[in-house]
Amino acid sequence: MASKRAMINEADTMRVAKKRRTKITIIDVIVGHGEDTKTFQLQDFLLVEHSEFFKAALNGQWKEGKENKIELPDDEPGVFEIYAEWLFCGRIASGTDENAKPAQKEIWAEMGLLSRLYVLGEKLIDDEFCDCTLRSMVELRNVISEDGQRYLPSGDDVRNLYDGTTQSSPIRKYLVDLYCHNIGKDWFSNDKARHYPKDFFVDIARKGLPLLNGRKRTDPGEHLERYLKCK
């Protein structure tokens, strides 16, 4: 038989849950602009619990909180839709079959999407989502393509991540360590290297030269906790 204290605690929990349900507000999140605009209707508590951006916007002091409407004209509806799904299920669905060997273009297409998801997570100040995205990047990095290769994030992905994150963002450290673990000295003379962002090139040179000169390299995927926002 349950104790009196347990029964009281259970009753309190039910009252809190009921009170919370009665206070749920639906927020219109309008993403994109022009013909590409899409409206997502999401519960306020989901947005506030995960994102410091939404928490600030919906605190009642700004018009977004008073109108229950937030506009994100510079973001992609398709990317935000994946974020909205993650709010409900807590995971990011993979676009590649783990039992298949996808083509290089499929891997890079998914990596490009993941890079945009990470940038969105950083914009929304959702550290948990950023970490989930990074884990998906590491999993994709370990996928062997149809040509028997594993692929790094492309120059476009690196540029997108550098353009969309702060200097202290852990994703930058991950990218630098990942490249230092996999490239050789000839990478600096490769024409493709010139397409990477300048800051990344500088970070590679600063961090990577000692490694390229003979120091032991460590696969960053084996120590992922170093690059997570939520410790």
Q: Summarize pLDDT for 128-156 with one digit per residue, the tens.
A: 999 999 999 999 999 999 999 999 999 99
Instruction: Evaluate if residue 9 carries a pLDDT over 80.
Output: no
List the chain domain ranges. 128-231
* pTM assigned to the model: 0.83
| Residue 209 pLDDT level (bands cut at 50, 70, 90) | low
Q: How far is CA 122 from the centre of its chain?
A: 7
Tokens 């009921």 map to which residue? 18
Report the range of poorest mean pLDDT among 56-60, 77-81, 156-160. 56-60
Residue 4 has pLDDT above 50, yes or no: no
Q: Over 80: is that where the pLDDT of 64 sits?
A: no
Question: What pLDDT score was predicted for residue 169?
Answer: 96
Q: Is the pLDDT of residue 7 over 60?
A: no
| HSE value, Cβ hemisphere, 13 Å, CA-based, for 211 | 19
Query: Please, what is the average pLDDT of the chain?
Result: 85
Q: In the structure, what pLDDT confidence band is assigned to residue 210 with cuts at 50, 70 and 90?
A: low
Higher pLDDT among residues 34 and 96, named by residue: 34
Q: At 5, is the pLDDT very low, low, confident or very high (cuts 50, 70, 90)?
A: very low
pLDDT at 211 over 70: no
Q: Which residue has the higher pLDDT, 71 or 185?
A: 71
- Size of the chain, expressed as the number of residues it contains: 231
Give the residue among 180, 134, 175 at the shortest CA–CA distance from 153. Answer: 175
**Crossing angle between the packed helical segments 170-182 and 198-212, to the nearest 10 degrees:** 50
Give me Rg for the CA atoms of the chain: 22
User: How high is the pLDDT of residue 13?
Assistant: 47
DSSP string, 68-127: TEEEETTS-HHHHHHHHHHHHHSS---SS-TTS---HHHHHHHHHHHHHHHHHHHHTT-H
Residue range 89-108: mean pLDDT, rounded: 83
Structure tokens at 122: 């950083």
Q: Mean pLDDT throughout 29-55?
A: 96
Closest CA to 133 of 178, 79, 176, 203: 79
Instruction: Tell me the average pLDDT across 171-199.
Output: 83
